[in-house]
Chains A and B, each alone.
Chain A
């Protein structure tokens, strides 16, 4: 082996060791986060079952999460419904010379998949980011420490209300998104192709069962948990001042989106296997 080769191989080995370190560092910090999140969930649930629920702030969080997210959810889901109907309609027109099953496909896609996922993504960007930024700022300005010294458990004071608000509001928002999305599809179908709305509605409702709704509903509860847990965990572990708050917020939104999309697949497989579909 030439000298150059030796140097190269040494460099390569050093590099791979460095990559190992980076990889293991990431893994360790991920597991650490998982551990902290588990402890936090446990504490939150204990607080809720003991009835330590700050009513006033829970209500104000519900308004924040639910009411203030409604306009953007309505806007997003109306257009999603329209685009779904447009795609299905134009595809079936190509095949059968007329738009068929537009209501069925639009309704199904929304209720079991797009409604829950889209709503969760929008809420992760809006509410998850806000939760992390607020708790993170409180952490770096020592307000969390101040809560402790004034005899208040920060989890009880900050996490419980947000947990409840997300848990109950996300499914409601999802239902709103489903309904508005289906109306968006109807609007497009009736105006663009002159299909009577009664046909659209019968297409929507003929194949839908209670299980279809439950399928979407279970998913949205689960996504709500992901959003609020990731957001609180990132917030409570914020370090390094304003820069740290920015980093925590970005990472909160990114992580919850990734977790939502990945867990969606596995959750769907599970629900399908359990015949909840």
Chain B
């Protein structure tokens, strides 16, 4: 179980997270929606321990990773796979070495098993025969899928996805959605998915929550989300520029 309590994070004068509470039960898929710049990536990074919050706690299986020793933090990180928004592939390694990286460090598989697992994971995200290519030779969508394969290859119990379907074509997005559903169904993976893609959110989510102004302002099932009266959520789901979420609709021309 992942439990986030009252997390605050400030960058300079900017309050990005102001008291986020979040609970993800085992085997559940939680989708976080929110406008760009709302702090979704920062929240995910806080959950894996890449960013230390100014205040509050993040508990992974009852270990508070904001206060524990680096050894315990390391143990907790082993349980988590992280899919980066921009893939973050190691560009000095080829695709095979990228996917095998976590397997070599975090599992005791032998070379043959690692080979098999890499091929299997790449096939899972619809990629074949690209093991020898360098990340610079891949398209954006392919990088993203390799990043996904790398994060799930060592079969972590928790997987955090940062916009896994952004930048993919609709067919590939659906393949990734199914992959996330299958990971949950067959391997009981617990996931947190950050996404802008409402269709995908409805398809994969057990629960949807919305981050706005540094707080979680909504929490409900996909069904509840569709019929909510919460104006922020309504605006986001309908994709409208009119509503309580402030956007500068004059494109800066208001100042002229």
Contact = CB atoms under 8 A, between A and B. Distances in A.
A151 interface: yes
A143 B91 contact: yes
A63 interface: no
Interface string A130-158: 00000001100111011111111000000
Interface string B74-110: 1001101110101011110000000001100110000
B220 to A, nearest CB: 29
Contacts of A146: 82, 84, 88-90
A218 B82 CA distance: 45
B106 A150 contact: yes
Interface residues on A, range: 10 to 19
Given A151-B102, A151-B105, A145 B77 contact: no
Contacts of B101: 150, 152
Contact of A149 (B48, B86, B89, B91): B48
Interface in A90-123: none
B50 interface: yes
Interface string B175-212: 00000000000000000000000000000000000000
Contacts of B144: none
Interface in B120-152: 150-151
A145 B80 CA distance: 13
B105 A142 contact: no
Interface string A76-91: 0000000000000000
Given A149-B50, A150-B102, A152-B105, A142 B86 contact: yes
Interface residues of B, number: 22
B45 A145 contact: yes
Contacts of A152: 101, 105
A141 B77 contact: no
B88 A145 contact: yes
B106 A151 contact: yes
Given A145-B45, A145-B50, A150 B88 contact: no
A149 B84 CA distance: 10
A159 B212 CA distance: 39
Contacts of B86: 141-142
Given A141-B88, A143-B91, A149 B105 contact: no
Interface of B: 45, 48-50, 74, 77-78, 80-82, 84, 86, 88-91, 101-102, 105-106, 150-151
Given A146-B82, A149-B77, 6 more contacts: A142-B84, A142-B88, A143-B90, A145-B50, A145-B82, A149-B81
8 contacts: A142-B86, A142-B88, A145-B50, A146-B82, A147-B90, A149-B82, A151-B77, A151-B105
